Amino acid sequence: MLIGVPKEIKNHEYRAGMVPGSVREVIAHGHEVIVETNAGSGIGFTDDDYVAAGATIVDTAEEVFAKAEMIVKVKEPLAEERKRLRKDQILFTYLHLAPDMPQTQDLVDSGAVCIAYETVTGRTGGLPLLAPMSEVAGRMSIQAGAQCLEKSRGGLGMLLGGVPGVSPAKCVVIGAGVVGSNAIRMAVGLGARVVVLDRNVDALRRVTSEFGSRVETVFSSQESLEQEVTTADLVIGGVLIPGAAAPKLVTEEMVKNMKPGSVLVDVAIDQGGCFATSKATTHAEPTYIKHDVVHYCVANMPGAVPRTSTFALNNVTLPYIITIANKGYHEALARDPHLLNGLNVYKGKVTEKSVAENLGFEYVDPKDALEISYDTL
């Protein structure tokens, strides 16, 4: 199979779909890889590094899309990239379609086979291709939040961990999943007063088991959420519903009642955000102030540390890339129900139920779309 890696073009996106080491692995299985020139420049890899791994360098993204049977990216394709997709071409990347009608419609119209990293499931549960970026984003959320608390950024002028004799900031983490647990580790390490809310008592038990009395765990309800958010200095939103738009847990009224200069970091912004006042921002202009509260809502947070993020992502995507290349998309999807869960759009049909319901498309079961017998799975 001929695999193509275009250069990412989203604002301040420096990650690459494949590193030279991944290219070498794929080529060892008998496949070919073409890489757009300078695709790895943002993470310290030159065209020569990719050539040494066995890739062919091409000058334009148009050539990558025109030749490749499978496109491997990091971020969702922008409008100009979506126009280049063709029928039966495989697109393997993050998509986050639930809040994005224009992208979904373009992918439907393209006739491509679109597999989303974020809805591929793991054999032991969880979302293995989302987890590494959630780990990065969770850890970064505390770094970003701590900076936003500085007066020059519009914040309270407060040091997250305080100093002897001065209280630390109160950091409220909504969600005790992968994002939340990594945010907690960083916040505890910096000396913040940490409160975590979740509706899953087992998740709260895991937090208590790891952090003990250093973290206060609270069962999430309308009452407890309002009480903790309105008294917080920093709030991290890390709630995810796989494939669906994030729930708006923090209302505008709650934001209005927060302390002036307090900070909201919405890690769920890729899925529409979990704060009612959230709107996507970029690394170029990461924050805005609404109701005197600093909002940090960068839609590709891990893009700020592209080298770490790219290696972490490649570690988990490479086995799937090799499987799809070795078997072809139909057999690969038919024989792995967890990979099949990643199929969001298939030749003009929406095959991810939450996306179809959220955007008003007709839902087609992926097994029916691929004409897979249930005995196969």
Pairwise CA distance, residues 302 & 66, whole Å: 29
Q: From the annotation, which residues make up the binding site for NAD(+)?
A: 134, 198, 220, 239-240, 267-270, 298-301
Q: From the annotation, which residues make up the binding site for substrate?
A: 15, 75
Pairwise CA distance, residues 95 & 359, whole Å: 14
Pairwise CA distance, residues 366 & 331, whole Å: 13
Q: Let me know how long the chain is.
A: 377
233: three-class secondary structure by DSSP: coil
Per annotation, catalytic residue among 31, 270, 295, 336: 270
Q: Which amino acid is at 211?
A: F
Burial of 62 (0-12, 13-18, 19+ CB in 10 A): middle
87: three-class secondary structure by DSSP: coil
Q: From the annotation, which residues make up the binding site?
A: 15, 75, 134, 198, 220, 239-240, 267-270, 298-301
Sheet with 170-174, side-by-side order of all strands: 215-219, 193-198, 170-174, 234-237, 263-266, 293-296, 287-290
Pairwise CA distance, residues 296 & 196, whole Å: 19
> Could you tell me where the DSSP H helices lie in the chain?
20-28, 47-53, 61-67, 79-82, 101-110, 131-148, 178-189, 201-211, 222-230, 252-256, 306-335, 337-340, 353-359, 366-369
Exposed e or buried b per residue across 22-55, where buried means at least 16 C-beta atoms within 10 angstroms of its C-beta: bbbbbeeeebbbbbbbebbebbebebebbeebbb
Pairwise CA distance, residues 19 & 17, whole Å: 7
Sheet with 2-5, side-by-side order of all strands: 56-58, 32-36, 2-5, 70-72, 90-93, 113-116, 343-346, 349-350
43: three-class secondary structure by DSSP: helix
270 labelled catalytic: yes
Per annotation, catalytic residue among 31, 96, 233, 295: 96
Instruction: Sort strands 349-350 and 293-296 into parallel, antiparallel or unpaired.
Output: unpaired
96 labelled catalytic: yes
Active site positions, annotated: 96, 270
